[in-house]
Structure 1
Amino acid sequence: MQKKTGNLIITGIWVLLFILFTVLVQTVDVHTIGPKSSSVGFASVNALVHEKLGVHRLWYSITYWLGFVPLSTAGIFAVIGLMQLVRRKSLFKVDKSIIALGVFYAATIGVYVLFEFYIVNYRPILINGYLEASYPSSHTMLACCFMAAAMLECNILIRDRQINIIIQIVSIIIMAVMVIGRLISGAHWFTDIIGGLLISGALIMGLYSALSMFPKKR
């Protein structure tokens, strides 16, 4: 019970940090430094980082295509859940960890959709001549959330420790390449990446809190 309460408190802290940072991004040092006179908070820091790193289309392409890997992990677990549902003929008989994962995916996609409508700021570059929502970095959020979720779920479903270690290493590499590559690409402001990491931390910690209640399969 104490561990469960601690996990929930940590999850709440991550959520509050994201909310606070989001408010600050909309109120601190806001200036029109983006394309088509679009505004962004922490303008001095964002402009400096963007100027120093520049724009690299290659990294934009790499992170774009790499983004399908985290999405594919969601597809794999969705198939596992569907197979369990068909075989066991009841949603209540599907592994609780799979159900928790489905709720997590829904929450993650929900956050993504929310910030497509509630636009905090736009990208520092035009995409096909248009402004696109940039905060929080969706590639950062989806990569971190889905790969971390895969690590947590595999630790429950897979017995082999070596396989789990390989999955963890690959997942961490993908997350690191996606986060760093997305920043280097110039497709996001620095604060977009930070926002993506903060909301990822909140969502992942929420999932961890749920999955920690389920024993690993023996």
Structure 2
Amino acid sequence: MNKYKKTNLCITLTALIAFLLWTLAVTKFDLQAIGPQKSIVGFASLNGAFHDFTGVHMWLYEVTDWLGLVPAVFVLGFGLLGLAQLIKRRSLFKVDFDILILGVFYILVMAVYILFEVFVINYRPVLIAGRLEASYPSSTTLLVLCVMPTAIMQLRKRINKPVVKNVVTVIISLFIIFMVIGRLVSGVHWMTDIVGGVLLSTFLVMLYSYTENIEALRGRMEWTKKK
């Protein structure tokens, strides 16, 4: 295992452990009924103070909610790319491996989302349409931080012009920053929800990167042997 892969694996495992420990802490530390309808929230003093500081900005919630469709467009785009390759090449095994891995990654992200919708850690600090909604980890943060960085990885490999490649990377990066900060200060999540989303998405993206790099290395080794 080379140095890059070791570092990648180390970051992946560290992010997973950090997320699990953070989630455990959220369910055990400083639990108080500070949420709507007296819902229990972990890190209550910290979350309550930060929520009071930022306030609630529903317009920002609406903007980031609608912009949450952008990652869905990328998911659809790469899904159509994989489908086009499948139809043209007439074999699932002839579809680009990184696209197949990306598809599995999307399924994993959706499974994680459903998991935390079923097993609720805490609820939002505000009612949405008059009802409580699961808040941990922030699903929008998770979606953006999983789909957009992997989109950058894919596009940087598929765009040949360096200038275009760099411009696309900057635009997507700025979008990511806006979405995470926007969700944080909108007041529709507790601060710990955003942190949880960042840690979980870091683990998932690094896992994707690690898996993709292993296969890329294997492919280069096989190509070298054929020569």
TM-score under structure 1 length normalisation:
0.96
Q: Deviation digits for residues 132-186 of structure 1, max 9, x if unmatched?
A: 0000000001011110010011122222222221221111111111111111111
Match of 1:17 in 2: 18
Q: Deviation digits for residues 64-89 of structure 1, max 9, x if unmatched?
A: 11100011111100000000000000
User: AA paired with 1:6?
Assistant: T
Give the structure with higher Rg (CA): 2
- Distance in 2 between residues matched to 1:9 and 1:184, nearest whole Å: 31
Q: Deviation digits for residues 38-74 of structure 1, max 9, x if unmatched?
A: 0110000000000010000110111011100011111
Match of 1:160 in 2: 161
Judge which range, 73-82 or 169-178, deviates more. 169-178
Match of 1:121 in 2: 122
**Alignment map for 1:1-218 (pairs within 5 Å):** 1-2=1-2, 3-213=4-214, 214=216
Q: Deviation digits for residues 86-142 of structure 1, max 9, x if unmatched?
A: 000000000011011111111111110100001000000000110000000000010
User: AA paired with 1:135?
Assistant: Y
Size of the aligned set, in residue pairs, is 215
- Distance in 2 between residues matched to 1:203 and 1:171, nearest whole Å: 18
User: AA paired with 2:41?
Assistant: V
User: AA paired with 1:55?
Assistant: V
Secondary structure (helix, strand or coil) at the match of 2:74 reads: helix
- Distance in 1 between residues matched to 2:159 and 2:75, nearest whole Å: 16
- Distance in 1 between residues matched to 2:105 and 2:167, nearest whole Å: 23
Secondary structure (helix, strand or coil) at the match of 1:212 reads: helix
- Distance in 1 between residues matched to 2:107 and 2:212, nearest whole Å: 16
For the aligned residues, what is the CA RMSD?
A: 1.1
User: AA paired with 1:132?
Assistant: E
- Distance in 1 between residues matched to 2:12 and 2:181, nearest whole Å: 24
Gaps of 5+ in 1: none
Gaps of 5+ in 2: 218-227
Secondary structure (helix, strand or coil) at the match of 1:122 reads: coil
Between the aligned residues of both structures, percent identity stands at: 44
- Distance in 1 between residues matched to 2:59 and 2:189, nearest whole Å: 14
Judge which range, 163-172 or 132-141, deviates more. 163-172
Alpha-carbon deviation of 1:207? Answer: 1.2
- Distance in 1 between residues matched to 2:7 and 2:169, nearest whole Å: 24
- Distance in 1 between residues matched to 2:121 and 2:91, nearest whole Å: 42
- Distance in 2 between residues matched to 1:110 and 1:167, nearest whole Å: 29
Secondary structure (helix, strand or coil) at the match of 1:127 reads: coil
Secondary structure (helix, strand or coil) at the match of 2:160 reads: coil
Alpha-carbon deviation of 1:30? Answer: 0.6
- Distance in 2 between residues matched to 1:68 and 1:123, nearest whole Å: 21
- Distance in 1 between residues matched to 2:68 and 2:130, nearest whole Å: 22
User: AA paired with 2:168?
Assistant: I
Secondary structure (helix, strand or coil) at the match of 1:135 reads: coil
Match of 2:224 in 1: none
- Distance in 2 between residues matched to 1:205 and 1:163, nearest whole Å: 25
